[in-house]
Amino acid sequence: MGEQQQVKFPQEIIEEYAALGVDLPALFSAGHLGARMGVQILEAAPDRVVGTMPVEGNTQPYGLLHGGASAVLAETLGSVGSMLHGGISKVAVGVDLNCTHHRGVRSGLVTGVATPVHRGRSTATYEIVISDEEGRRVCSARLTCLLRDVRPGDGPAESAGS
């Protein structure tokens, strides 16, 4: 969990942030909670965000992946997609998250893939599918984010890890 991987961003998004003096790949992370839980973002674009999270350290008392951990992974991935969709002039703020848990997982890594359901001017909704290492669906989630205009103090550096 200690080593950070480089997030794969589309070149046009890197250039958009670079024009503002922001090194997006250097800045980007899954946030403090995501880092604590071992979330790694592997790929990030408005149309697809992929990340992983270890089961170990994120379990409930029965030794299964905690549903809240799946929710953290889902909200992280959907928020990243929403942030990238909104671009540098918007801040993505989660307003609705729902998760359906399909099966328990006791070990290994889970992988989440977020894809857009709706990308509008003021909201973005993503479906997030979390699967185990055998490709079996563990959780289906949906996240809607409000896209609000950047305010003073909300620059890309402050909002990129939200």
Q: What are the phi and psi torsion angles at 160 (to 5°)?
A: -65, -25
Q: Is 158 a catalytic residue?
A: no
Select which of 12, 15, 75, 158 is catalytic: 75
* Sign of the torsion formed by the C-alpha atoms of 129, 122, 30 and 156: positive
Distance from C-alpha of 85 to C-alpha of 13, rounded to nearest angstrom: 10
* Residue 133 DSSP code: T
Beta carbons within 8 Å of 134's beta carbon, 6+ residues apart: none
H helices within the chain, ranges in order?
Answer: 11-18, 24-27, 31-36, 67-86, 156-159
Residues annotated as catalytic (active site), given as ranges: 75
